[in-house]
A = this chain, B = another copy of it.
Amino acid sequence: MKVQSQLVQSLQSRPIAEELAKKQKEISIAEFFERNKHILGYDSPNRALLTTVKEAVDNALDACEEAGILPEILVTIENVKGAKDEFIVIVEDNGPGIVKKQIPKIFGKLLYGSRFNTLRQSRGQQGIGISGAVMYAQMTTGKPTKILSKIDDDHPAYYLELRLNTKKNVAVTLKEDIVIWDKPQGTRIQLELKGKYARERKQSIFEYIRRTSLVNPHVKIQLTEPDGTVTNYDQVTFLLPKPTLEIKPHPDGLELGTLLNLSKYTDAYKMTSFLVNEFSRVTTMTARKLCELANIPGNLKPKKLSLDQAKALLAAFDQIKLMAPPTDCLSPIGETLIKKSLKHELEGLKPEYFAPPITREPIVVAGNPAQVEAGIVFGGELSGDQQVDILRFANKVPLLYQQGACVITHAIENVDWRKYGMEQRGGKGIPIGPAIVFINVSSTNVPFTSESKDAIMDMEILRKDIENALRFCGRKLRTHLNKKAQRNKIKEKFEIVQKVLPKLAERASAVVNKPVPELRPVIAKIMDIVFIEDSLRFEDGRHKVEIVINNYTTSPKKFRILVEMHFKDNLDNITPTPQKVGNGWLVWDLKNLAPLEKTVFSFELNGLDKDSYDGNDIYIDGLNAIYIVGAEPWHGVE
């Protein structure tokens, strides 16, 4: 070794270290990403175009929602004439606009933004997304990005042409102008870049817009594709999601360095007020307790907090169990809207079953509140011999790339789906079956694996929570499948008994030359159940429900039928007259159903959305559970 290294040294008059030192230098964040553009999501022409649209749309949605405006977004993609691989992307919103001075920085400087330390849910956070798109556009076509923005009718609209000086990471305004724009307010960005437009792919702009609309029912988007096709996604609701509130950092997951930084830059004069002011869920009493535990005087100046004191304070935080951070900083989609959206989108596939979606209780992931939502759609025309389809979302933004890297995928792989009626080798891996699995993760700081925000980091607490959400949906699916299997089994048995037995009896009678005996009591003896079959169809704006009850037992039965009903005012044509309507229930008393007799109950719902009522929940009271097939035995109160 020595020989070799001396050899190298002898070839040079100076130590190697001095030669090496000459090459060492600093680069700007923009140069870094110019060289590593794939990390921002610009690794292929197809994806580059998608990333650009995604950054612009996410920005537009954030701006509108932050200002309390129902978003109306126009997305246009045009092919540049004479250049097959160049495209113009235009994204226009009706948001609050941007003041002129800020426009160059927001679009032409990396790591510039408004949401860095804001602890509340938003799509963008890093100040890299849209300026990255501007940089990629100029890198591939040399063309500046054009911005038009208007903040209200008292101000003119400003038009700017921008580029980004990557060596220095600063914006350069090439041209600016005051123009007339008939929009009351809003922002319009136009980029020209190299790319590829592929509609048929799963990872396409078309799919991204479709999925964005799926989980943002309050958004109106129009997409105009290069071939001129216009697709409109209208608002499904005119209610903006509840505005998210900014919260203070929660001590859970706090790093020592962050604590020391906070203590250095706080306006508070004493430790106790510092703790109350800067952290969420710390009351004056808790603050005193914390100082006591950490052996720090409550009136110590925060700036004077020493390393050891900071450590002691962190230890004290661990000892006191604080309340979880408030969750009004989050904006989950909600179970009702998930169901509505999934149904709306997937109607064409005629799924057999929509497992009730779940919005879990918020958790804390590395100090940030996070919330998991899940849903499963099963059967129908979904393909049964392939891996289930996974729809991933983070803060309502569709994730289309890097599925294998995402905690959502890992959670799905970790659940034993064999229990829930799907095929899965060894109970690990993505299951095979006719299903779509939907997951949305909301957080004030979604821990993405990279700046391109395609996949969420595999953090254990988050993965476990997703697994639990999936198991919840899985159990619902299993119940559904069991019920179906049970019914099918009974039906099969019933068919055999009803068809084969009479024929057998006939032949046997013929052989022994006796009359065919009355078989119905025999059938009842064999079956020995009360069989309930219900149906629901939607016709002429009406939900029509029929419940058929067969008594396949040897004795007359008397019981009560309860149907869960939250639309009392829409009820119509109830036959026969029920014993009770109200308190969430529609109730009939069945006085006497003779052996082998059947009876029919029916009702209609008038004036409801198709999706508002999508299945009957039927319970039977007053009958031993072992007889009931096709409904649930009643255990509760009406």
CA distance A152 to B9 in the complex (A): 10
Chain A interface size band reads: 35 or more
Residues in B neighbouring A7, C-beta threshold 8 A: 68
> Which A91-118 residues sit within 8 Å CB-CB of chain B?
94, 96-99, 101-102, 105-106, 109, 111-118
Q: Closest chain B residue to A450 by CB distance? A: B450
Residues in B neighbouring A386, C-beta threshold 8 A: 426
CA distance A1 to B240 in the complex (A): 9
Interface check A311, CB cutoff 8 A: yes
Most buried by B among A20, A26, A96, A311: A20
CA distance A386 to B427 in the complex (A): 12
Tell me whether A67 and B402 are in contact (CB under 8 A): no
Contact stretch, chosen from A27-35, A204-212, A223-231, A556-564? A27-35
Known: A23-B118, A256-B140, A409-B404. A99 touches B38 (CB 8 A): no
Known: A4-B70, A15-B96. A34 touches B257 (CB 8 A): yes
> Which A72-102 residues sit within 8 Å CB-CB of chain B?
72, 94, 96-99, 101-102
Interface check A127, CB cutoff 8 A: yes
The one of B27, B39, B310 in contact with A116, judged by C-beta atoms closer than 8 angstroms, is: B27
Q: Closest chain B residue to A37 by CB distance? A: B255
Count of this chain's copies in the oligomeric assembly: 2
Tell me whether A455 and B99 are in contact (CB under 8 A): no
> Contact flags (1/0) for A258-273 with B, using CB distance below 8 Å?
1011000000000000
Interface check A485, CB cutoff 8 A: no
Interface check A142, CB cutoff 8 A: yes
Residues in B neighbouring A447, C-beta threshold 8 A: 36, 38, 43
Minimum C-beta distance from A631 to chain B (A): 38
Interface check A138, CB cutoff 8 A: yes
Known: A21-B102, A28-B111, A69-B4. A139 touches B256 (CB 8 A): yes
Interface check A425, CB cutoff 8 A: yes
Residues in B neighbouring A39, C-beta threshold 8 A: 448-451
Interface check A201, CB cutoff 8 A: no
Q: Closest chain B residue to A141 by CB distance? A: B256
Known: A9-B152, A15-B152, A126-B32. A142 touches B256 (CB 8 A): yes
CA distance A268 to B495 in the complex (A): 91
Residues in B neighbouring A256, C-beta threshold 8 A: 139-142, 194
CA distance A348 to B425 in the complex (A): 28
Minimum C-beta distance from A275 to chain B (A): 18
CA distance A96 to B24 in the complex (A): 14
Tell me whether B28 and A142 are in contact (CB under 8 A): no
Interface check A155, CB cutoff 8 A: yes
Question: Known contacts A5-B67, A5-B94, A24-B102; can you find 12 more A-B pairs with CB under 8 A?
Answer: A8-B69, A16-B96, A17-B99, A18-B99, A21-B98, A21-B102, A26-B127, A38-B459, A39-B451, A140-B256, A142-B256, A404-B409
7 residue pairs from A and B, CB less than 8 Å apart: A1-B94, A20-B114, A38-B366, A43-B447, A139-B258, A140-B255, A425-B432
